[in-house]
Structure formats: C-alpha cells, structure tokens
Amino acid sequence: MKEKVVLAYSGGLDTTAIIPWLKENFDYEVICCCIDCGQGEELEGLHERARLSGASKLYIEDIVDEFCDDYIVPCVQANAVYENKYLLGTSMARPVIAKRLVEIARKEGAVAICHGATGKGNDQIRFELGIKALAPDIKIIAPWRMTDIWTMQSREDEIEYCKAHGIDLPFDASHSYSRDRNLWHISHEGLELEDPSQEPNYDHLLVLSVSPEKAPDEGEYITMTFEKGIPTSLNGEKMKVSDIIKKLNILGGKHGIGIIDIVENRVVGMKSRGVYETPGGTILMEAHQQLEELVLDRATMDVKKDMGNKLAQIVYEGKWFTPLCDAVRAFVKSTQEYVTGEVKFKLYKGNIIKAGTTSPYSLYNESLASFTTGDMYDHHDADGFITLFGLPLKVRAMKLAEVKANEK
C-alpha cells in the first residue's frame, strides 16, 4: 500500500501541477484537502478537477464559523492590526487551515502534508509552524523550495507539465494579480502593484468593493450590538458572527470602506506591496473600538494597545499555536467582560462616521465630563493632584538651576 500525502489544495494551477509531481517523485497517494474559509465561487468544480489531476480523494472542509469564532473574533477584540494598516486577513486563516490539514492527515494516516506556498512569502512559515506545533512527526513538503526536483519556473511550465501528464484543464497562461480570498478579506499583489511608484488600477483590481469615488452620494446608517466583545446583531437582527461579516462585506463594499494600499515588512526580510479589501472587517474593528472607548479604563486601554500590537505580530509570523499567543489572548479576553452595548455609525464614501454609542457599563459620566460642576468633582482637588503629578519635573528643574548656579 502506498504512503499518503495530504495536499493543501486550491484547485489553481500550482496545486494542480503538484498532484502529478508528488506521485512522480514520491510515489504517494495524493489526498487533496481544500479548506473553505469563505472563498465563495472559487470552490466550484473542484471534485472533478482533483480527480482529473490524479488525486485519489478530495476533502472540502467548511471551517467558516470556526475561522470567525476562534480566530477572527480574538483578533478583533485585541484590535490586532499589523503595521497600522493590515487587518491580518490571510494571516488569521493560516493556523486554522494548518489545524484542519493535520486533522485530515491523522484521519487518513498520511505521513506528509504538502503546500504550494513559495519560498519568498509568509505563508510557508505560517503553514509549517502550525503543522510543527500540532503534528511534529508529520513530514512537510514544500515543492517551491525543492528546486532540484521542482523545475517549473512559470505558469507556462506548469501548464506544459500538466498536459504531459494527461491533465488538460482550462488554465490561462497570462499573468494576473495574485489574490488570496476568504470571508474576511481579499488581497491583491502583482502587475502594477510591484512598483510602489504606480497607482493601483482600482477599476480592474477591486473585487469586493467600489472605490470611494464611485460609492453612493448618500450615507447609510448601521447599528451593531456586542456582548462581551463579540458581535451579536446587525441592524436589530440577531445573527452569528460569520453572517454579520458577510452582510458587512456587502455594506462596506458598497460604500468603499476598507481599501488599503500598503508596503509591508514580510517575515522573510523583504518588503512587499499589496492592496487589501477588508470592507466588513474594517467596520467590525471600528465598531468594537468605539464601544471599548466607553467601557475600558485608561490603564487597561494603554496595556491592551501594546498587547494588540504584539498579537498582530504573533499572528503575522504564524505563531498562533504558542504559549505566548495563548497568554496574550487570555489577557485580551479578560478585558472583554464588560464590552457590551450598541454602536451606531454612518458609512459614507470610504468613511465610518460615529453616530452614537451606548453601554450599560459605560465609564463616561456626564456629571464629571460636563463643564458645569458636579457633585463628584471639586475643582480645588486639582491643585494637590498637579503638585504631586508635577513634582518630579519641579525637583529636576530646581536641581538643574542649583548646579548651574554653583558653576558660576
């Protein structure tokens, strides 16, 4: 009986070419596994394609709700944003994909897991760290790094290789944007984006959204509720997180929300330029932050900001299944106990405009914040506070003056 390998399969040209390559070079039985994180129509026709390419079996695993509840929500609660812009759409999906690949490999008794990530990107790190953390005994095969036996260098090479192995599928040899899509976002790389001096061709590039210029001239109001930092309803309708994100994607895309153009620092040491569409995610992140403004105290918000940046780095680097990630997420979760309430805002031409926030746990006190004197605040108390708060500054200034006087 042949040994089995589980291939992380998308149905694209790369992973299609990998199927006969694995059989030819390793004599494996190839089990394809396509992980559905919300790619939509990209999953159509995969069973037939995998069979024609030589796979013995194809799993299509729907993990959308797990992705939303166990990976997206913790990052939203942390406000985990990489380098101030990137909402981690691809990064958050990789650990849950790795987890399911390991589960299928265990089920099938496979000795190896293969992925089609290149040697220049972040995904090879994210997939492999996840697999190593969950299944250190399983072999990992990365064809693009095995240049002694993976000799294909272009789409034309891959198409010819497939044809030579009896696989004649309708792949296009022309180059286009390199995209990664899931429920949270879609990323775009390649073509004019490889030159940072060039403006993105948004008319050809955008998939989920319109540019702000093409958004409606009338704004649209949205209301969301949260319980303990988890979104629970949209416009008065209770629904699960994945459905909220789906609806927000439609609303945000309509109004040109969440389009970013970023040059980011990859883990492997190079800079890369990409355009990300995250319409629903951008709205969800902003709504959660608006609610936290009311509920969290200053000291907690200060530390949480650092923890959010730390979690963004952890997730970006593929270190989800680590003690550090567990510890940071535990801290963030503890801050969400009272992040409950309602947020209202207006979407208008790429902008999310506040329109009112309420919470039963709001720390905003009108009596304290008002210019009129309330019962809880005596203006005279500020004298002593400022004296003590500024004491180090005063002592230092006095010492410097004393030293300067002694020098004369």
Q: List active site positions.
A: 14, 94, 123, 178
Minimal CA–CA distance to 130: which of 166, 88, 92, 177?
92
Can you tell me the distance from the alpha carbon of 110 to that of 139, in angstroms, rounded to the nearest whole number? Answer: 9
Residue found by looking up tokens 């039985």 in the block:
29
Residue 359 identity: S
DSSP code per residue over 276-330: EE-HHHHHHHHHHHHHHHHHS-HHHHHHHHHHHHHHHHHHHTT--SSHHHHHHHH
Minimal CA–CA distance to 112: which of 7, 192, 25, 40?
7
- Residue 229, phi then psi, degrees to nearest 5: 80, 5
List C-alpha distances in Å: 58 to 34, 35, 68, 110, 236: 7, 10, 24, 14, 40
- Put residue 335 in one of left, alpha, beta given phi > 0 → left and psi -120 to 50 → alpha: alpha
Residues 6+ apart with CB under 8 A from 78: 304, 307, 308, 311, 312, 328, 329, 332
Can you tell me the distance from the alpha carbon of 114 to that of 141, in angstroms, rounded to the nearest whole number? Answer: 5
Task: Give the number of C-alpha atoms closer than 13 A to the C-alpha of residue 150, restricted to the C-beta side.
Answer: 21
